[in-house]
């Protein structure tokens, strides 16, 4: 069973461009979580999705950030008009629901120049 | 979710047991203790969790005090690959809503 997959692993964007980060959960997992880790800071929860539904987006910035988890395909975290402060590692985690542990992917490192 | 307190850093000699403490004095009866770790630049990794009984798996042991106000994660024979930040988290595990709130954790350095 392959683990949580994230791509790209590294992404460089210029200020004002859009960044699209993809997360493929583990097989059979219908719950996806996105976390952000700013340089020298801890992991911060952003959003929790189930298939086609956003369950909790309390950690998402109010503007420029959006997330989706369609019926088919990976979950997407989209950042519009990126700024230098968006430079961070973005981690995705998945779980089948009803269990205690979440399984994390290797992360996408976004650099905004 | 209850707040946890961990030492910011610890050292451990390779081959010895690493004992990582965590205080959670405001824990509620329905809150679990979880441990995750993050090896440098990698995604966090689930280690173990418990409610009130001691737990052991292939990675570690979790000792929870009888009053549940503190716990200790034990890595029985630490290796260099165990160097990581270890997070102690207390939360209610609800089947439909279970985000993880990470604190600053303990940075464990395993020394040759």
pLDDT tens, position by position, A36-64: 999 888 899 999 999 889 999 999 999 99
Q: Work out the mean pLDDT of chain A and round it to a whole number.
A: 93
Which residues of chain B does A91 touch, with a Cβ-Cβ cutoff of 8 Å? 43-44
Å from A52 to nearest chain B CA? 15
Of B77, A98, A82, B66, give the one whose Cα is nearest residue A90.
Answer: A82
Query: What tens digit of pLDDT does each residue of B34-66 get?
Result: 999 999 889 999 999 999 989 999 999 999 999
The predicted pLDDT at position A101 comes to 82
The predicted pLDDT at position A1 comes to 55
The predicted pLDDT at position B83 comes to 97
- Closest residue of B to A94, CA-based? B99
Answer yes or no: are the C-beta atoms of A89 and A108 closer than 8 Å. Answer: yes
Query: What tens digit of pLDDT does each residue of B61-99 get?
Result: 999 999 999 999 999 999 999 999 999 998 876 654 677
Q: Do A42 and B93 touch (CB under 8 A)?
A: no
Q: Is B95 exposed, middle or buried (0-12, 13-18, 19+ CB in 10 A)?
A: exposed
Å from B95 to nearest chain A CA? 4
The predicted pLDDT at position B97 comes to 60
Q: Which residues of A22-51 are buried (b: 16+ CB within 10 A; e: fewer)?
A: bbbbbeebebbbbbbbeeeebbebbbbbee
The values of phi and psi at residue B81, to 5°, are: -70, -10
């Amino acid at each position: 069973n392959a683990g949580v997959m994230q791509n790209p692993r590294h992404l460089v964007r210029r200020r004002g461009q859009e960044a699209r980060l993809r997360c493929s959960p583990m097989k059979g997992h219908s719950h996806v979580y996105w976390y952000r880790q700013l340089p020298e800071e801890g992991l911060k929860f952003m959003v929790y999705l189930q298939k086609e539904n956003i369950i909790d987006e309390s950690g998402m910035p109010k503007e420029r950030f959006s997330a989706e988890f369609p019926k088919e395909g990976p979950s997407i975290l989209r950042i519009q008009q990126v700024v230098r402060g968006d430079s961070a590692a973005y981690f995705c985690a998945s779980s089948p629901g009803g269990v205690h542990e979440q399984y994390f992917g290797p992360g996408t490192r976004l650099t905004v120049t | 979710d209850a707040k946890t307190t961990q030492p910011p850093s610890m050292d451990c000699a390779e081959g010895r047991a690493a004992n990582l403490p965590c205080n959670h004095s405001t824990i509620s009866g329905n809150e679990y203790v979880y441990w995750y770790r993050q090896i440098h630049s990698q995604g966090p990794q689930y280690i173990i969790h418990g409610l009130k009984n001691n737990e052991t798996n292939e990675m570690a042991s979790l000792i929870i005090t009888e009053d549940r106000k503190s716990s200790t994660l034990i890595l029985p024979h630490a290796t260099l690959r165990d160097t990581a930040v270890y997070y102690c988290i207390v939360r209610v595990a609800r089947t439909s809503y279970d985000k993880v709130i990470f604190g600053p954790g303990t940075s464990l350095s395993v020394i040759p």
